[in-house]
Amino acid sequence: METLEETELCFPQLHNSSCRRPIRPHFETMLIYILLSFISLLTSALNLLVIISISHFKNLHTPTNLLILSLAVTDFYVCLFMFFPIMLIDGCWFLGDLMCTLYQYLAYVISSASVGTMVLVSVDRYVAVCHPLHYSSEITQKRVQVCICLCWICSVIFQCLILKDIMKQPGRYHSCIGACVVFINYIAGLADLTFSFIVPITVIVVLYMRIFVVAVSQARAMRSHIAAVTQSGKVTAKKSEMKAARTLGVVVVVFLICLCPYYCVALTGQDNLLNTSSAAFVIYLYYLNSCLNPVIYALCYPWFRKSTKLIVTFKIMKHDSNELNIV
């Protein structure tokens, strides 16, 4: 009986203060480990291909692709900082309170930066489709780089304020040794929910509704054989811009599908559900989005398929390979 109880503890030598390990069949545990390991490796590889492609080939250095690059970086870090601890730790945290706090902080920063990048993607497509004449002058590489840097800086500072209590005293809300949970007070939680979910999602939905309306009107104009300059003086967006808007629109929709269930739990105030196995699906769905984005690029962007072929065959090691035109 004593042996049975010890196997249920994260730290068997600490009977009174150790957290209890969830009891799962060995087959189920191994299946979860294998599945998460596969997803983690796949996510890392695919997003690394996106990062190398856009960074290496000069003709891919466009404002839109810089935003895709930033999104790929956040997805790559999601794999490192979110999947890895879940794979190795079976319901127990063995790395201490300080590492738990650091892990949670980085996870919040990366999630916040990912949402901010999605807002920038929506703004980029809105200007490209709805105001094509102003796109080249308003959306420049330097401005996009500044916006991306500000997005990351704001995420770092904002999450410092949200998690300041646990950062001051790591582990202060842990009820037992081996736990790694985050407790956020009501005001901080409301601020995080508002600025990390409600406001960004509202902006994204409004901008893409406007893009959809303009896209439909332009499609009707094309079918009616109206010239590029319409009677009202508006200029239709390029076909390539419309295609990019559709592709990134799919990315945004998938992002919302994966993100909304996670935040809806917080929105309804049922945070305790996140500590149960029934909420694992919601969290894993949120993480899975990082793997889906590069899959969408592979299906929709010919340049990604071409660059991937050059990377895996090591042709990018050749002199002046970054000058190749793969668009």
pTM above 0.85, yes or no: no
Q: Tokens 């000069």 — which residue? A: 58
CB count in 10 Å sphere of residue 186: 8
Which of 92, 20, 16, 33 lies closest to 7 in space, CA to CA? 20
pLDDT, position 243: 62
252 — pLDDT class (breaks 50, 70, 90): confident
**pLDDT above 70: percentage of residues in the chain:** 76
> Does the pLDDT at position 4 exceed 50?
no
> Does the pLDDT at position 103 exceed 70?
yes
Task: Please spell the DSSP secondary structure of 86-98, one letter per residue.
Answer: HHH-SS---SHHH
Question: Which of 3-7, 184-188, 218-222, 289-293 is predicted with the least confidence, judged by mean pLDDT?
Answer: 3-7
Average pLDDT, the chain: 76
154 — pLDDT class (breaks 50, 70, 90): very high
Average of per-residue pLDDT across 49-75: 90
CA distances from 262 to 105, 196, 284 (A): 17, 12, 9
- What are the chain's domains? 25-225+232-320 (1.20.1070.10)
Residue type, 103: Y
**How many helices (H) and strands (E) would you count in the chain?**
13, 0
> Does the pLDDT at position 148 exceed 90?
yes
Residue with more model confidence, 281 or 70: 70
Q: How far apart are CA 206 and CA 78, in angstroms?
A: 27
Which of 52, 53, 109 lies closest to 81 in space, CA to CA? 109
3-state secondary structure of 58: helix
Q: How far apart are CA 16 and CA 9, in angstroms?
A: 10
pLDDT, position 135: 85
pLDDT digits 0-9 by tens, 270-313? 554 444 454 566 667 777 777 777 778 767 778 888 888 888 88
CA distances from 105 to 85, 191, 195 (A): 14, 16, 16
Q: How far apart are CA 203 and CA 186, in angstroms?
A: 24
**pLDDT above 90: percentage of residues in the chain:** 9
Q: Which residues contact 116 (CB under 8 A, 6 or more apart)?
A: 151, 152, 154, 155, 200
pLDDT, position 224: 63
180 — pLDDT class (breaks 50, 70, 90): confident
Which of 74, 59, 138, 102 lies closest to 310 in space, CA to CA? 59
256 — pLDDT class (breaks 50, 70, 90): confident
CA distances from 2 to 15, 16, 156 (A): 10, 13, 46
66 — pLDDT class (breaks 50, 70, 90): very high
CA distances from 83 to 10, 164, 230 (A): 20, 24, 51
pLDDT, position 83: 57
Are 266 and 21 spatial neighbours (Cβ–Cβ below 8 Å)? Answer: no
pLDDT digits 0-9 by tens, 212-243? 787 777 666 665 654 444 444 454 555 655 66
- Residue 19 token pair: 């957290």
Question: Which of 21-25, 48-52, 267-271 is predicted with the least confidence, judged by mean pLDDT?
Answer: 267-271
pLDDT, position 204: 86
The alpha carbon of residue 287 and the mean position of all alpha carbons in its chain are separated, in whole angstroms, by 8
